[in-house]
Structure 1
Amino acid sequence: MEESNIQKFYKSCNVFITGGTGFMGKLLIEKLLRSTEVSSIYLLIREKKGKNAHSRIDELFDDVIFDRLKRECPKYKNRIEAISGDCSVSGLGLNITDRQKLMSDIHVVFHVAATVKFDENLKLAYSINVKGTKDVLDLTRQMKSLKSVIHVSTAFSNCHLPEIEEKFYDCPYAYEDIGQVLEKLNKNDIEQLTPRIIGPWPNTYTFTKALAESMIKETGSGLPIGIFRPAIVISTYKEPVEGWIDNLYGPTGVCAGTITGVLRVIKANVDSIADIVPADTCVAGLIASAYDVSEKECERTVDNIPIYNYVSSSENPITWDEFVHLNLIHGSKYPVINSIWALSLTVTSNIIVYNILRFLLHTLPALLFDTGAVLSGNKPRILQLYKKIHKFTEILVYFCFRSWKFSNKNTVNMWSKMNRADRELFPFSMTTVHWLLYFRRYIKGMRLYLLKDPDSTLDVAKKRDKR
């Protein structure tokens, strides 16, 4: 078997990762430790709930996705180093010693950290997604042995446009001007002015991601930098375990609500494309992109900064109708033990029909449940739950009613240049994903890892579901 060029690139490298405790960050760490011979991985970790960076590292590796790594590479922790810091703080919150260490040791940087809440306060979203990215770039300029920097953006950073190519787009505001405006405003003023500031962008997440890209366009010259734009990232396909997911973001929240019987009607255009990608193939593409950037034999100018759209629609499209249908098929095969109603989901693009069904299938039963709870001396909670669900689903409507035409030539070219060994180790091409098999694993994984419903309850859940 021929040698992997990507493995050769990472051998003896020191890697710096921000956002390592997040969904994609955990998978990135696991894959690098298991499939490459990186020398060390430096993880930027902030203190949280009174726990320091080292305590959080220990908790991080308790996750089931690291079980395979522990079996295959039992000495993996020797390659991990915690760096105390925070992307929302000026200068990443680094102390002088750690900053010097990063400047002298690091070869590859993955900037994954971001706030992904769609309705995040604009000032906080800016401080993490834009200012934090600027601080990372300022740090990388001082790294003496730097080979590659990858900024993880989103395929929807320019979602106000119908066609999105692998290139920079003009932003109506300078990133510095937005920062200065936000500094002068209080929280209430920011909340009121946010719709006017973000303009055609649907939320603060996509807007600040666009601003971060604009900042890279202005300041990235001279750096070996690339931008990786994943679409909607959901559970793993194959590795390190099938169907692993640890969050309710985006479509996963809809699926979890459906299989638990809580969500029974949603508003969407069934013919629109669901640009979803598996987390493990996405991470494989992310790892490959850092190698690809390092191989670029060109002057490091803004015009030559590679952008990788990592999407499914260009090569392996799936509609929201197919997405819902496949989830219903497998949801009926793997029911959960504590579902409220039997599995059922109505999808409509008609707002009047949606509002009627929402009242009949959500609000009215919730009122009856809560009335019964009050009469029996318990606390009403179902109606409040549905308020949260309706707010969550309204946030997703923008993406469920639109389709985008993405170009992914750089990603396809990157795959075409890979040799057989690299393709087997880092299989990121969306042409390798079989959706029917994928959604079977997605539902099983959601049931097990997210809803904490073990396989031992499946037979009982099936009998209960039939009743």
Structure 2
Amino acid sequence: MTISGEEMATSAINNIHEENNTYNFPENNTPVENLTPIQSFYNDQVLFITGGTGFMGKIMLDKLLRSCPGIKTIYLLIRTKKGKNVEQRLNELFNDSIFDLMKKQVPDFKDKIQIISGDCSLLNLGIQPEDRKKVVENTNVIFHCAATVRFDEKLPLAVAINVRGTKELIDMAHDMKNLKVFVHVSTAYSNSNLPEIEETFYKPGMPAENLIKLIECTGDKLGEEIAPKVIGTWPNTYTFTKAVAEDLVKRNGKSLPMVLFRPAIVIGTSKEPVSGWIDNLYGPTGIVVGVGAGIIRCLHADPETVSDLVPVDLVVNAVLATGWKRSQMGDIQDVPIYNYVSSHRNPINYGRFMELNMKYGRQVPSIKSVWCYTITLTKYRFVYELLAFFLHTLPAILVDMGLFVMRKKPKALKIYKTISKFNDVLGYFSIRQWNFHDDNVVDLWKSISEKDKEIFQFDITKLDWDVFFKNNIDGLRLYMFKDDPSTLPEARKRMRKIEFAHVFIKYAVLGLVLYCLYQAFSLLF
């Protein structure tokens, strides 16, 4: 059946803007006895959230404000950025369309938000004494989501945010007399130097205190130079510093009601508050956008390797559930750990991942694409380098020559150097397989009430990847490419012309190669 451009555009709009919830959220005055166990735990509580302006933080704020309207206060740590003060950044945060449904359901949401000006890269989190006193005296629940998630982040900054920031927050938590739960969000790849990762702690590259002192003594420049030796067998500064931070949680958080949550590769929303929302180009999302734009045409990835993807709304639901679960455990010696992954119970490999994205991407191409959808995956580095030369570097040289002739600034080669670096960073993860254990997550799911399973759904086995990637492509077109749905018919027509040109060039090049080979053999024989 052929779908018209108008129908497809309407479908995209509906996917993004429909209210996906099959349940009614409680009103602010709902009696406590009518709340679910998880809702009851967060009712009348004061929360302190770091990383609330980030990708996962936005979904967490939306979910908390919609599903737990009885929350008393949310202290939101925000730093000044790019000349904007914390008030401006808060207004920008809630101007994001991801909060449209929340604003409709909770119109007085701002009454619950209190800004705490600070910065996780600074000593004492950059929090002023009066704000610190307020947070320490009133906080019941901490969600520590702040981190620099760039794989190639410079070591000094990664240490400042991911390690020292965690230490500063744990130190502050020790002064909180009313603290009930402290959830530290890490990553499933914090110990990616190991092939098998259980829900337990592992030895870090070095103790946090030693690492912090090392960076303080060496300074930023020397710290960058010694980074390869410091991180050792870890693939990058991100995973290394997250592993060191986990050791802080183990050692310094023993007397605190802590829980460690490790999500795998966090991607766009599956359902809440809308399907297909995404606001960044990290990891696999960057690949899909690059392929959709017609810029990335080959990838160093094993088609059979499982890409451990987890939608952000399911991640947030699981995080909130772990907070409730930890509150039920009382005083325990060990910090419980939850590996939230998909590879064990609902795996999807890179081959299938690209197949689904290509399938739906071709149905709704971007009006901004410079070439058609085409991608070749290979697990062999040499083959990838060869393909990258012919499919990336050579076309970039030709484009830059054309720009030079037209007296325009060449930029194609620069773009592909960035893509090559991006591919190098991801290559470690796209050709390797890990065996993650997630028994604690399974037990957590079994332990929550049936009503909470509706509201805080995080059972990864219920996720239909085919449906997810259809909605994901619609979301990428709207949120990342910023294409108006009305441009879809024109984009499809334009893409058909590009595909014709692609086929013509491919066979022309093949013919030229065969002709050259024929001439070479004729001279030899």
TM-score (norm 2): 0.87
Matches within 5 A, 1:53-452: 53-297=86-330, 299-301=331-333, 304-452=334-482
The CA deviation at 1:451 is: 1.2
Structure 2 counterpart of 1:4, from 33, 36, 50: 36
Task: Find runs of 4+ consecutive structure 1 residues off by over 3 angstroms.
Answer: none
Amino acid at match of 2:436: F
Secondary structure of the equivalent of 1:227? strand
Q: 8 Å contact 2:156–2:224 — kept in the other structure?
A: no
Structure 1 counterpart of 2:84, from 29, 51, 67: 51
User: What are the Cα deviations for residues 306-342 of structure 1, in whole angstroms up to 9, with x where unaligned?
Assistant: 0010100111111111111111111111111121111
Q: Following the alignment from structure 1 to structure 2, what is the Cα–Cα distance between the partners of residues 385 and 366?
A: 9
Q: 8 Å contact 1:3–1:421 — kept in the other structure?
A: no
Amino acid at match of 1:113: A
The CA deviation at 1:191 is: 2.2
User: What are the Cα deviations for residues 275-308 of structure 1, in whole angstroms up to 9, with x where unaligned?
Assistant: 00001001111111111111113x332xx21001
Q: 8 Å contact 2:205–2:243 — kept in the other structure?
A: no
Question: Which blocks of at least 5 consecutive residues in structure 2 are unaligned?
Answer: 1-22, 24-33, 498-525
Pairing 1:27–2:66 present = no
Q: Following the alignment from structure 1 to structure 2, what is the Cα–Cα distance between the partners of residues 110 and 391?
A: 32
Percent of aligned pairs sharing the same letter? 47
Farther-moved stretch of structure 1 (163-172 vs 59-68): 163-172
Q: 8 Å contact 2:276–2:476 — kept in the other structure?
A: yes
Secondary structure of the equivalent of 1:295? helix
User: What are the Cα deviations for residues 409-432 of structure 1, in whole angstroms up to 9, with x where unaligned?
Assistant: 111111001111100000011012
Q: Give RMSD over aligned pairs.
A: 1.1
The CA deviation at 1:381 is: 1.0
Amino acid at match of 2:242: K
Secondary structure of the equivalent of 1:427? coil
Secondary structure of the equivalent of 1:167? coil
Q: 8 Å contact 2:49–2:74 — kept in the other structure?
A: yes
Q: 8 Å contact 2:368–2:481 — kept in the other structure?
A: no
The CA deviation at 1:44 is: 0.4
Matches within 5 A, 1:445-464: 445-464=475-494
Q: 8 Å contact 1:362–1:386 — kept in the other structure?
A: yes
User: What are the Cα deviations for residues 148-180 of structure 1, in whole angstroms up to 9, with x where unaligned?
Assistant: 000000000000111100110112421111111
Secondary structure of the equivalent of 2:124? helix
The structure having more radius of gyration, on CA atoms, is 2
Amino acid at match of 2:65: L
Amino acid at match of 1:173: M
* Aligned residue number for residue 30 of structure 2: none
Q: 8 Å contact 2:205–2:244 — kept in the other structure?
A: no
User: What are the Cα deviations for residues 92-147 of structure 1, in whole angstroms up to 9, with x where unaligned?
Assistant: 11111111111111111000000111111111101110110011111111112111
Q: Following the alignment from structure 1 to structure 2, what is the Cα–Cα distance between the partners of residues 370 and 410?
A: 53
User: What are the Cα deviations for residues 229-248 of structure 1, in whole angstroms up to 9, with x where unaligned?
Assistant: 00000100001111000000
Question: Which blocks of at least 5 consecutive residues in structure 1 are unaligned?
Answer: none
Secondary structure of the equivalent of 1:15? strand
Amino acid at match of 1:72: Q
Q: Following the alignment from structure 2 to structure 1, what is the Cα–Cα distance between the partners of residues 364 and 321?
A: 35
User: What are the Cα deviations for residues 387-444 of structure 1, in whole angstroms up to 9, with x where unaligned?
Assistant: 1111111100000011111111111111001111100000011012110000001111
Amino acid at match of 1:84: S
User: What are the Cα deviations for residues 9-38 of structure 1, in whole angstroms up to 9, with x where unaligned?
Assistant: 011111100011100011101110011021
Q: 8 Å contact 2:205–2:240 — kept in the other structure?
A: no
The CA deviation at 1:3 is: 4.2
Q: 8 Å contact 1:223–1:300 — kept in the other structure?
A: no
Q: Following the alignment from structure 2 to structure 1, what is the Cα–Cα distance between the partners of residues 222 and 74?
A: 41
Q: Following the alignment from structure 1 to structure 2, what is the Cα–Cα distance between the partners of residues 428 and 187?
A: 40
